[in-house]
């Protein structure tokens, strides 16, 4: 609102793809926002330059060994400096109006949960958090009466539809998927796919981990689980539809046969801006959608045979209990090993599948009931997956 005080922001993961897009929107709307705290994993140089540019009150680096480096980079300013995992939680616990949760992976779980527990307005990009700790996270949101705004473009689209339409009359939620860079590839070709090929997404420019997830289509599987927790529908009400142009970001079908969708250019600054200004709107620089120019929107059913990661994620949602946490942990290990050149592209899903069955064999099946349970299960899943990586590496 004009004349009102700027919204104060905490950006968890400010140096990443979502984090830098968030700060780009702050730079374009300086009167609306005041950056309070920024965090990064290890990129001190970018973190320090962001902290200076946005006149942040605090900068936090997760890697405790980089405290001195950050302190030096910010000397001569009034910006407070901290390092380590506890500092990350303290950053999330600061009294800001808005928290962008944009750390990648289960590493973002604790600080995001900390923000939820203080009843913050949390813009959630970190989908792994809901996949790994869905029930625990939602309980924290409920208990503290936190506000959860989905950033993921599909979920943001669904949220926008549901904001104005009756939630009781939902028939299906239809998550669209670009299909990723290997949409038309045969499995034999995927077997030899390189990290560079996997991260070259046709429509979106994103961090390495989510880009690989898009190539395996695990990303869509994680998003179905994310949608299950965010929107409180039954598992059989969630459908996936491949739509290579990434113009329709998702749809909601109602019991009367109506289907409502949100459309836009594939630019994350649109859903991010939606959460930053919510419940109002603010301008964002995404290219205006020109449907006459695009001319054709196409659709196809997902191929669960060529994309086993999607099949595994859908199965984990059906199984419930420990399965989604294990799936997420194994996938993070598999993706990191693939990006590190240790295993092949198809090994990622194979490692997830084997981790799931070994986990069951080891009695890891009960639903985690607390953050500690989630973290233990996550560690156990990572250990199994790491063994499987070692076995395949030779
Ligand atoms: P990214 O790799 O570009 O950035 C990740 C950020 O997290 C960086 O700031 C990094 O420093 C920080 N980080 C990484 N590991 C950390 C650790 N162990 N401890 C603390 N901080 C750590 O990733 P991204 O593409 O910006 O994605 C961030 C999240 O948003 C992911 O969960 C992703 O699935 C989700 N998401 C991203 C997009 C997108 O377009 N990029 C779209 C939808 C959802
Ligand atoms: Mg998405």
Contact 92, 99 (CB under 8 A): yes
The pLDDT tens digits of the residues spanning 335-385 come to 999 999 999 999 999 999 999 999 999 999 999 999 999 999 999 999 999
Give the chain's domain count: 3
Q: Is 313 among the domain residues?
A: no
Q: How far apart are CA 154 and CA 160, in angstroms?
A: 10
The torsion angles phi and psi of 159, rounded to 5 degrees, stand at: -60, -45
Residues 107 and 65 in one domain: yes
* 326 and 300 both lie in a single domain: no
Burial of 187 (0-12, 13-18, 19+ CB in 10 A): middle
CA distances, 110 to each of 101, 114, 118, 229 (Å): 11, 6, 13, 18
Of 136, 151, 166, which closes a domain? 151
Do 173 and 242 sit in the same domain of this protein?
yes
* 180 and 302 in a common domain: yes
Was 156 annotated as part of a binding site?
A: no
Residue 272 lies in a domain: no
In ligand 1, which atom is closest to the CA atom of 152? 43
Residue 386 within any structural domain of the chain? yes
Residues 64 and 94 in one domain: yes
d(CA 143, CA 139): 6
Q: pTM of the predicted model, to two decimals? A: 0.97
pLDDT given for residue 143 in this prediction: 98
* Distance (Å, whole) CA 339 – CA 332: 11
What is the residue with the minimal CA distance to atom 2 of ligand 1?
A: 207
Residue 358 has a pLDDT of 98
Do 161 and 104 have their domain in common? Answer: no
User: What per-residue string of b and e applies to 5-25 under the rule 16 or more CB within 10 Å gives b?
Assistant: eebbbbbbbbbbbbbebbbeb
Is 190 touching ligand 1 by the criterion CB < 6 Å?
no
Q: Give the CA distances from residue 380 to residues 13, 129, 325, 328, 373, in Å, rounded to whole numbers and listed in that order.
A: 25, 17, 10, 12, 11
Q: What does the alpha-carbon distance between residue 108 and residue 126 come to, in Å, rounded to a whole number?
A: 7
Residue 164 lies in a domain: yes
Q: What is the CATH number of the domain that holds 380?
A: 1.10.1740.10
Q: Does residue 216 share a domain with residue 329? A: no
Q: What is the DSSP letter of 108?
A: G
Minimum CA distance residue for ligand 1 atom 40: 206
CA–centroid distance, 354 to ligand 1, in Å, is 26
Task: Measure 217 CA to ligand 2 centroid, in angstroms.
Answer: 11
Q: Which residues of the chain have pLDDT under 70?
A: 1-3, 394
pLDDT at 202: 83
Residue 302: name the closest of 232, 199, 201, 219 by CA: 219
Whether 34 is in a domain gets the answer yes
Tell me: the pLDDT tens digits for 212-236? 999 999 999 999 999 999 999 999 9
Residues 143 and 203 in one domain: no
**What pLDDT shows up at residue 365?**
96
Whether residues 62 and 173 share a domain: the answer is no
pLDDT of 165 reads 75
Alpha-carbon distances of 364 from 85, 249, 284, 324, 359, rounded to whole Å: 27, 35, 45, 11, 5
Does residue 276 lie within any of the structural domains?
no
Is 172 in the same domain as 29?
no
| Domain edge (last residue) among 276, 307, 338 | 307
284 in a domain, yes or no?
no
User: Closest ligand to 268 CA?
Assistant: 1
pLDDT score for 273: 98
**In angstroms, rounded to a whole number, what is the distance separating the alpha carbons of residues 15 and 43?**
7
Whether the CB of 207 sits within 6 Å of ligand 1: yes
Q: Give the CATH number of the domain where residue 135 resides.
A: 3.40.50.720
Q: What local confidence, expressed as pLDDT, does residue 1 receive?
A: 54
Residue where a domain stops, chosen among 134, 151, 168: 151
Q: Which structural domain range is residue 36 located in?
A: 7-151
Asked if residue 147 and residue 171 are part of one domain, the reply reads: no
Say if residue 41 is in the same domain as residue 89.
yes
- Token pair 């070259």 is found at 200
Count of other CB atoms within 10 angstroms of residue 3: 5
């Amino acid at each position: 609102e004009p004349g009102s005080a700027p919204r104060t922001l905490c950006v968890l993961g400010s140096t990443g793809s979502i984090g830098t897009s968030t700060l780009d929107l702050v730079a374009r709307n300086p009167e609306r926002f005041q950056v309070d705290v920024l965090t990064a994993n290890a990129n001190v140089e970018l973190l320090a330059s962001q902290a200076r540019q946005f006149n942040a009150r605090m900068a936090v680096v997760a890697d405790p060994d980089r405290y001195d480096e950050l302190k030096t980079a910010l000397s001569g300013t009034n910006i407070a400096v901290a390092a380590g995992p506890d500092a990350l939680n303290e950053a999330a616990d600061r009294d800001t109006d808005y928290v962008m949760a944009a750390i990648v992976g289960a590493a973002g779980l604790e600080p995001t949960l900390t923000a939820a527990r203080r009843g913050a307005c949390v813009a959630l990009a970190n989908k792994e958090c809901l996949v790994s700790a869905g029930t625990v996270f939602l309980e924290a949101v409920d208990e503290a009466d936190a506000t959860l705004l989905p950033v993921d473009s599909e979920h943001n689209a669904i949220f926008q539809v549901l904001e104005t339409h009756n939630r009781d009359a939902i028939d299906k939620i239809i998550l669209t998927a670009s299909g990723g860079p290997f949409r038309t590839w045969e499995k034999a070709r995927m077997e030899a796919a390189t990290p560079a090929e996997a991260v070259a997404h046709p429509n979106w420019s994103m961090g390495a981990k989510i880009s690989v997830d898009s190539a395996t289509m695990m990303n869509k599987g994680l998003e179905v689980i994310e949608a299950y927790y965010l929107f409180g529908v039954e598992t059989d009400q969630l459908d996936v539809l491949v739509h290579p142009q990434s113009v329709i970001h998702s749809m909601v079908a109602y019991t009367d046969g109506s289907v409502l969708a949100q459309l836009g250019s594939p630019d994350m600054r649109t859903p991010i801006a939606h959460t930053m200004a919510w419940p109002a709107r603010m301008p964002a620089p995404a290219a205006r959608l020109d449907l006459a120019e695009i001319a054709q929107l196409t659709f196809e059913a997902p191929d669960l045979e060529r994309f086993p990661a999607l099949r595994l994620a859908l199965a984990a949602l059906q199984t419930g209990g420990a399965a989604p946490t294990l799936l997420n942990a194994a996938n993070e290990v598999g993706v990191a090993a693939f990006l590190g050149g240790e295993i092949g592209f198809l090994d990622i899903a194979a490692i997830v599948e084997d981790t799931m069955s070994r986990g069951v064999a080891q009695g890891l099946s009960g639903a985690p009931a607390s953050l500690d349970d989630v973290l233990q299960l996550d560690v156990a899943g990572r250990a199994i997956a790491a063994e499987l990586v070692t076995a395949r590496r030779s």
